[in-house]
A and B are shown apart, each in its own frame.
Chain A
Amino acid sequence: MSKNPRTLILEGLRRSTKEVAVPTNHCNHWKEKGWSKEKKIETLKAHLESARSEVILTSRRSKLQTLANLIERKKLQSLLYSSQVDLGKEILNHPNPGFSDILREYSGNEEVDRSLLFEVDASVTTAKGAIAENGAIILWPDKNEPRMMSLVPPVHIIMLDVEQIFESFGQAIQEGNWSPKMPTNAVLVSGPSRTADIELILAFGVHGPKEVIVVITK
């Protein structure tokens, strides 16, 4: 009677590993660097910029003004956001008249939302955190800020606070409580999408956003 693939594979591997010594795993533990907030911001900013992200530093109080200035500078006619997150509520309640005209939201109708994603000039989302050492923004998309918000629109604006910045990927995983339950999708982003498949020449804005702007508040 022929065995199924799963059994065959596992049995074969069990035979091979019967007497294998398992190496001890103390070598992948991350080391705390003791970076100050300034150092974390500085490092994150430098790496994000080398990945062609734009980084804007501002105070918590002025973040919405910064966003308004950004919208004007980039001449954005529409901005996809979510009113279900705190950031979205703040944007919605801001007295700035420029916001109300351009804000767009998911409607819940897939077809409508699909067109919306393709038409908007930009999207703005929160972040789960950031990793200074890698120059990465951590996104955990969910039902309020779905995955495509950070993928389809040509410009993606990320609002991040300094308290969210981790020194290293190891620290982010441990102190960010990634284990044991991971979300449907988590993604680290360093900048606009790019490719070097043609003669290793770098070109930006392939299938993801052409521009990524990170606003760091403190």
Chain B
Amino acid sequence: MQNRNFDFQDNVRKALGNKQLRSNLKFAMATMVEKRGELFKNSTQLEELREAGSRIRQRSLAKLPDLLEQLEEKCLENGITVHWATTASEANQAVLEILHQHKAQKIVKGKSMVSEEIHLNHFLEENGFSPLETDLGEFIIQLAKEPPSHIIVPAIHKNRAEIAKLFHHNLQGAPYTENVEELNAIARETLRKKFFEADVGISGANMAIAETGTLCLVENEGNGRMCTTLPPVHIALMGIEKVIEKLSDLPPLFELLTGSATGQRMTTYFNLISSPRKQGEKDGPKEIHLILIDNGRTKIHADPELRNTLKCIRCGTCLNHCPVYTRIGGHAYGYIYPGPIGKILTPQMEGLENTGGIPEASSLCNACETVCPVKIPIPNLIRRIRAEGQMTNGVVQGHGTKKNLMETSVWKGWTLVNNHPSMTTFGVKVAHHLGAAIPKTGPLKAWCTERTLPKFPKQTLQELVKKEGLDHE
């Protein structure tokens, strides 16, 4: 869905100028980096684990159609209804149909990035529903009417004073308090009853196991268990790439996910859901629906290099280590996936014509690649996506739209000058005499406003060598 007001440069400028945001982010990201570092102290073990994670995800993607069919078969055997959706719209419609079928009114929701991706809440609200976010971070941003700013901690851009105000103004009876324990207690009280009253619980799924037809959900708060146990109907949304082959694939991925996402050896809970309530059981939903969502993933999968984007397990650690993300935060990116993963995923999903600036917001420092638990070669993919912006025969939607005549001409001119020594010499002399007067406008303005202009020399390197000789010592 195109974000019509997306002005990346403007967003970045505003974010960089927001002292509160920068301070919140600096503290939060440093903490998350530290926690992950403390847990993954043994680098040999970590590298083995990352290699295992990478191969497991690669295998899943290589066998994806077979695994999806197997997952469907096992889920159906277990009593889980499986729906397929090629677009966000189809996925939203599938959810709506289930809600209508059950005449559902009250909906509780656990954290799900794919549901944000398809703008489910907005769609449901347009259709007269009010899904209630139950993850504390999502609950906070729902009150603030903002999208999440981070994959794992959606309200990380807010400090306790901002949250205290939000609760006090929006929740009936909530006193103003900046005490974190008290704020949590307010959220707990508000949400507890809602779980029991809900007609439908909506969740995501961190992964699904084809071998057994099992949905896997990690969480710390218990709201995921509540949403997937109490309401009579449970709807799980999942991107098609998240399926894994077997149960034995689970341990390395689980360890990588919780360690990378929050620096925890394990989360409080790890839920494995394989069927609705069976005969004689006293709780659990009576119906479970799994909605498998494509929304551009098949297209990404078609290109062998770009396919690596789909290895992602949504841990968020690339965000935490990215020098760009830590300074501008998630909202600046304008679309649901920020940070390094966003830089390669968003253009592929939304098209380069709308989002071509996003992959440019990278210094290619490689920090993300170094920490990615499944070894996605993010910088290489950023380079590829940037190249797609210039390619008339590319594969990514909007390829070639970043190509412009001026830039192409400048590079042609540059090549010409550097291939002809006499032109290089001439060029250097001109720059020496006129360099300081280069107008700081047009394409050079962005460079010149942030950097000091270099001093252009009188002589070229070749001339200096002719004059002074080379010292090989």
Chain A residues at the B interface, C-beta cutoff of 8 Å: 4-6, 8-10, 12-17, 20-25, 27-30, 47, 50-51, 106, 108, 110, 113-114, 134-136, 142-143, 146-148, 151, 168-170, 173-174, 178-201, 203, 205-209
Report if B140 contacts A (CB, 8 A). yes
- Asked if A184 contacts B274 (CB within 8 A), the reply is yes
What 1/0 flags go to B241-281 for Cβ under 8 Å of A? 00001111111101100000010011111111111111011
A-B contact pairs, 9 of them (CB 8 A): A9-B84, A13-B301, A28-B55, A28-B252, A178-B212, A196-B262, A199-B160, A205-B184, A207-B188
Most buried by B among A182, A190, A209: A182
- Cβ–Cβ contact B222 & A23, under 8 A: no
- Bound Cα distance A142, B56 (Å): 31
Known: A13-B298, A183-B274, A194-B221. A170 touches B184 (CB 8 A): no
Please tell me if the beta carbons of B28 and A208 are within 8 angstroms of each other in the complex.
no
Ranked 7 nearest A-B pairs via Cβ: A208-B222, A207-B222, A197-B137, A169-B251, A12-B298, A193-B222, A13-B65
A24 / chain B contacts, CB cutoff of 8 Å: 55
* Shortest beta-carbon distance from B274 to chain A in Å: 4
**Cα distance A201–B240 when bound, in Å?**
34
Expressed in whole angstroms, the Cα–Cα distance for A28 and B252 within the complex equals 7
> For A114, what are the chain B residues with a Cβ–Cβ distance below 8 Å?
196
A200-B229 contact in complex given A20-B62, A191-B268, A195-B220, C-beta closer than 8 Å: no
How many chain-B residues does the 8 Å CB contact rule pick out?
A: 96
With a CB–CB cut-off of 8 A, which chain A residues contact B220? 193-196, 206
Question: Which residues of B have CB within 8 Å of A205?
Answer: 184, 188
Nearest chain-B residue to A14 (Cβ)? B65
A193 / chain B contacts, CB cutoff of 8 Å: 220-222, 268-269
Residues of A within 8 A of B307 (CB): 16
Indicate whether A207 sits within 8 Å of B192 (C-beta atoms), given known contacts A9-B68, A185-B273: yes
Could you mark each residue 398-427 of chain B with 1 if its beta carbon is under 8 Å from any beta carbon of chain A, else 0? 000000000000000000000000000000
The answer to whether A179 touches B62 (Cβ under 8 A) is no
Q: How far apart are the CA atoms of A14 and B64 in the complex, in Å?
A: 8
What separation, in Å, do the CA atoms of A132 and B214 have in the docked complex?
23
Partner of A184, one of B240, B245, B275: B275
Residues A5 and B248 in contact in the complex (CB < 8 Å), given A142-B281, A200-B156, A207-B195: no
Give Cα A136 to B216, complex, Å. Answer: 16
Contact between chains at B136 and A197 (CB < 8 Å): yes
Name the B residues within 8 Å of A4 (CB-CB).
Answer: 84
On chain B, the residues within 8 Å of A134 by CB distance are: 255, 265-266
**Contact of A198 with B163 at beta-carbon distance under 8 Å, contacts A146-B281, A169-B251 already known:** yes
- Asked if B159 CB lies within 8 Å of chain A CBs, one says yes
| Contact of A194 with B62 in the complex, beta carbons under 8 Å | no
A184 adjacent to B248 (CB under 8 Å): no
CB–CB A184/B137 < 8 A: no
Bound complex: CA A179 to CA B52 (Å)? 21
Seed contacts A28-B252, A170-B248, A207-B223; 9 additional CB < 8 Å A-B pairs: A15-B302, A16-B301, A17-B65, A28-B56, A50-B265, A51-B265, A136-B266, A173-B251, A188-B270
Contact of B51 among A27, A173, A174, A207 (CB under 8 A): A27
Min CB–CB distance A104 → chain B (angstroms): 14
CB distance from A131 to the nearest CB of B (A): 8
Judge whether A184 and B265 touch: CB under 8 Å.
no
A16 and chain B: residue at smallest CB distance: B302
CB-CB nearest in chain A for B281? A143
B residues less than 8 Å from A195 (CB atoms): 136-137, 184, 220-221
Query: In the complex the two chains form, is B268's CB within 8 Å of A51's CB?
Result: yes
Q: Closest residue to A110 on the B side, CB-wise?
A: B282
In chain B, positions 365-386 with a C-beta closer than 8 Å to chain A are none
Q: Could you say which of B51, B153, B212 contacts A200, with CB atoms under 8 Å apart?
A: B153
The CA-CA distance from A1 to B269 in the complex, in Å, is 46
Cα distance, A196 to B181, chains bound together (Å): 10
Q: Digit string of B55-69 for contact with A (CB within 8 Å is 1, else 0)?
A: 110110011110011
- B153 contacts A197, C-beta separation under 8 Å: yes
Whether B272 contacts A192 by the Cβ 8 Å rule is no
Q: Which residues of B are found within 8 Å of A10, using beta-carbon distances?
A: 65, 68-69
Residues of the A chain whose Cβ atoms lie less than 8 Å from the Cβ of B272: 182, 185-187
Question: B154 near A: Cβ within 8 Å?
Answer: yes
Decide: B188 and A206 in contact? CB cutoff 8 A: yes
Asked if B225 CB lies within 8 Å of chain A CBs, one says yes
